[in-house]
Each structure stands twice: as C-alpha cells, then as structure tokens.
Amino acid sequence: MMQADTFPLGLLSLEREGETPLYQQLYAGIRQAILERQLAPAARLPSSRDLAELLGVSRNTVVNAYEQLLAEGYLEARVGAGTYVSSRLPEAFLHTRNRPASATRVSGNRPLSELGRAFARNAPRTRKQYRVFPQGVPDTNHFPFADWARLVSRHYRRAPNRLVNYGQAPAGYRPLREALAEHLQAARAVRCEPEQIIIVGGSQQALYLTGQILLERGDRVWFEDPGYPGARNALRVTGPTLVPVPVDEEGLDVPAGEALAPAARLAYVTPSHQFPLGWTMSLPRRFRLLQWAEENDAWILEDDYDSEYRYGGPPLASLQGLDKGRRVIYAGTFSKVLFPGLRLGYVVAPPDLVDAFIVARSLVNLSAPGVPQAVLAEFIEEGHFTRHIRRMRNLYKERRDALVTAVEAELGGLLELGPLDAGLHVSAWLPAGSDAEAIAGAALAREVMVTPLSRLALAPLEREGLVLGFAAATPQEIREGVRRLARVIDR
C-alpha cells in the first residue's frame, strides 16, 4: 500500500488563496497524476484522514475529491480495504507527460469527414480587433443598453414558459415575426407575411441554411466577385461549385453570369450595397436577374446586411419586393443595426421554401433564444428600434465624412474611394502595382485594420484596393488612423 508519506505530493501544489476550491484542485491534481501514470493503475491511495493531515486541509476536502474521482471511474473503492487507482483504465488513454496540443491533433485522412477536414484546414485565427478600420463593425457604445436591460429584466422576472422552456416555435417568436414583417414592408418594401419569416442566429445562419436546403454537388452558384467570404464559405459547405461573377457600377454583372453559367441554381447578391465595392444594383439589372431566375428555375439569395444605413436619402427598396416569381430568399440581420453579439437575423423565404427552412433551422439548435426575441419585438414595437437607427445613421454619416476629408488631406491621389452613400465601410482603390497585403500588414502593426480586396476575391483583380470600415471609431480616431495609413502607403 502507498503510504501517505510516499504519495507524490509534488503533484498536489494547492493554491490556498486561489479562486478554485481546494477539493477541485486536489481532484484535478490526482486525476492528472493518474493520467500521466505517476499514480499507477491499482495503486492504493492514502486514507482521506491521512491525506488531509499530510496536506493540511480538512478531511472533507479529500473526501469530496475522492468522491468525484470515484464517480468518474478514476478510482475504485474496495469495501473495507480502502481506495485504489482504477485498474481498468485503458492503456491508450494514459500518457507519460502532458502532450502538446499539436500532438493530439487529428491527422491523416480517416478521423474527419471531407467537410471536417476542410473546416480543420481553415480554422479561423482570433485576431485582436482595433477600432480603425475593421470592416462591418458597428459602434456598440451608442446602443441604448439601459432600455434593452429594462425589457430583458421584465421578461425574466415573468419568465413565462413559452419563452424559457422547450417547445418554442422553431420559426421564431410570433410577435417578433409580426413586428418584423411590418417593419420590412415599410422600410424595405419587402413583400411578406409573418409566416414567411424565420428567425435565425444572424444572417450567417441564413446563408448556411440556404446552402443546406438548396445546393448540392454538381450545382453551380453565381457568386459576386469580389464578395463576402462568410457567404462564400457557408454556401460551399454542401459541395456546389461557386462561379465568380464580376461586379461593376450596376452591381452583379448578370449578362456575364448568363454567359458563364446559364443554368446555375442560385445567385448570391448584395443589391442594396454590394459587399465590398459598395455599388447599388441598377433597376435593369434587377429585372434581368429576376427574369433569369424565373426562366431557369433558379433561386436568388439577397443578402441585405446593412442597407438601413443610407446617407443620401431613404433606404432603397429590396430586390425581394420586385419579385413576382417567388424566387428571392431575403436574408437580414440585427448585427449592424443593433449589436453583433445578439446573434439574431432572419430569412424571408418564398412560400415554397418555408417548411424546409424551418426544419433545417430547428435541426441546428431548435430555435432562437426566447427572451432576446421577445425583447427585440418590444424594442421594435416601442419605437426604440427606428429611433436608434436614425441616431446611428447621423453618427455614421459624420464618421464617413471624417474619413473622406482625412483621405483627401492625407492620401489624395493615392487612395481612390469607391461609392460612399451607404453602409459601414468603403472600398478604396490603390495605385496600380501596390501590394495590398504588405500595406495591410504594416498598417496592422500600427493598430490600423484594413482588408485587401484580393482577400475577398475569387478571380485575380485588375487593380488592388482596401476595405475600410468607418463605423466603429470616432472622427478623431479616424483622422489618426488615416495619418498612420498614409505613412504606410507613402512608403
């Protein structure tokens, strides 16, 4: 039997002032010692009394740790004979030292599906966010969180079953869908009934679900080029081929799409404010796109991610509102108009697709969370929503103007700004021959984030550029950001 004084005490460095309860530290220390074979299978442990004395902790601390390890199968108790390290732990799970994470990574071709391997290859790196000029990031400092919190607390105090338990409508909270249908009709000329609206986890989920229910290997998809990588990756998941279709001042080049892939199954578009170049799709292009979809039995995915922010006049009518043939799937988000961490967005589905969307959506995580949806419905009904958008539109307009003035002053002739009448970002063309990646890297070292256009493009670009988000920073920060960027580009 292992005596208390031969127990590998070095393992059990308990941090008495730490935040983790002592019994948990003891549990974790013994567990690790077992996994690393410093405590061998079938070794007998000291009695709880002896170990407590030795470590200078209460007996309860040891008893609790032992009980947890017994419950998880690391230890076994033999009646009247004490506590032992389990003799039935599979050899393969025991190792000699903590292996570095890289050694435990799955390798080879077997463990992951084809899709899983693609995911693993593209694991995102978390990057520190700076305030100048991340793309698509709103300023959350101006959100009326006090009003929001009042509504949240009201709902949790009541905690009605329909908001906090299973059994919530997978398509979303009915009053929110009703409020949204009304808002979308008035503000975006979207034609829909509340039954066509499905509340999802941000528009990212809308893009993903569209791929799930419509696309498969062998299908072709018209994809705006340059375009939104979140859409590109989500639409690729089920295996279709994305066909890059160029974009010009009139938006997606529909005739080019017709020439490249006439029988495509879906076209992905951002007609109100092309991401990232900022053009608005012209009316003739809109009609031609709708006509192509009808004639070819194709679908159109309209990603209307930031169109509430239009600075020269009211927001433009949606493409969906022109669609008589019920070919348009309209995706919207609360990320830009409220805050991205809310993770709420919506799909307005053509009637024929509603059921498939609802089931696909419920397979992901049953439904959107109840209380945030109810809060949002009231936020809209009580007028906070339109008030907030109005305020932010003015604020962002000031920031956009600050950016334009600063670019003219510091970078006139070097950086040519694209369309400026909408959204939270602007694209900017660099002089021919510029290395946008090198510029972005040098700018990042000065805490300025810019996105090279080539990162957003599938086909090689004729001319390089940058995307600058102007919404998250104050005018002063914007001016300083442009000064830093100018020093980088000047070189």
Ligand X SMILES: Cc1ncc(COP(=O)(O)O)c(C=O)c1O
Structure tokens at 309: 């922010």
The residue type of 62 is: V
* Residue 172 C-beta: closest distance to ligand X, Å: 15
134 binds ligand X (CB under 6 A): no
Dihedral sign of CA atoms 479, 484, 487, 490 in order: negative
Task: Check binding of 335 to ligand X (CB under 6 A).
Answer: yes
Please, where are the H alpha helices in 338-411? 354-365, 370-381, 384-411
288-317: which residues touch ligand X (CB under 6 A)?
Answer: 303, 305
Task: Classify the phi-psi angles of 195: left when phi > 0, otherwise alpha if psi is within -120 to 50, otherwise beta.
Answer: alpha
In whole angstroms, how close is the CB of 420 to ligand X at the nearest point?
17
Interaction residues for ligand X, span 420-479 (CB under 6 A): none
CB of 135 to ligand X, least distance (A): 7
Closest separation in Å from C-beta 274 to ligand X = 9
CA 221 to the chain's CA centroid: 22
Q: How far is the CB of 224 from ligand X (least distance, A)?
A: 9
480/474 Cα distance (integer angstroms): 10
Nearer to ligand X, 83 or 270 (CB): 270
8 A C-beta contact, residue 209 and residue 357: yes
Determine the distance from the C-alpha atom of residue 448 to the mean position of all C-alpha atoms in its chain, rounded to a whole number. 22
Shortest Cβ 253–ligand X spacing (Å): 18
Type of residue numbered 96 = T
Q: Select 345 or 452, whichever has its Cβ closest to ligand X.
A: 345
Smallest gap from Cβ 423 to ligand X, in A, equals 9
Residue in the block written with tokens 């008030």: 387
* 170 versus 202: smaller Cβ distance to ligand X: 202
Closer to ligand X by CB, 273 or 327: give it. 273
**Contacting ligand X (CB under 6 A), which of 271, 345, 369, 372?**
345
Cβ 162 to ligand X shortest distance, Å: 25
CA-to-CA distance for 385 and 376, rounded, in angstroms?
A: 9
By beta-carbon proximity to ligand X, the closer residue of 167 and 341 is 341
Binding to ligand X in span 257-276, by CB under 6 A: 270, 275
Q: Which residues contact 484 (CB under 8 A, 6 or more apart)?
A: 443, 446, 447, 448
Number of residues located near ligand X, criterion CB under 6 A:
14
Q: Binder to ligand X among 29, 46, 134, 136 (CB under 6 A)?
A: 136
User: Which of 83, 196, 210, 333 is close enough to bind ligand X by CB under 6 A?
Assistant: 333
Residue 326 vs 343, nearer CB to ligand X: 343
CB nearer to ligand X: pick between 270 and 320: 270
Contacts of ligand X in 224-243 (CB under 6 A): 228, 230
Return d(Cα 254, Cα 256) in angstroms, integer: 5
Tokens, residue 201: 């986890």
Cβ of residue 275: shortest distance to ligand X, in angstroms? Answer: 4
Separation of CA 322 from chain center? 30
399 in helix, strand or coil?
A: helix
Nearer to ligand X, 144 or 229 (CB): 229
- Residues 170-229 binding ligand X (CB under 6 A) are 202-204, 228
Is there a contact between 299 and 293 (Cβ–Cβ < 8 Å)?
yes
CA dist 134 to 281, 301, 451, 470, 472, Å? Answer: 25, 25, 8, 8, 8
The two counts, helices (H) then strands (E), for the chain are: 17, 14
Residue 419 within binding range of ligand X, rule CB under 6 A: no
Binding site for ligand X (CB under 6 A): 136, 202-204, 228, 230, 270, 275, 303, 305, 333, 335, 340, 345
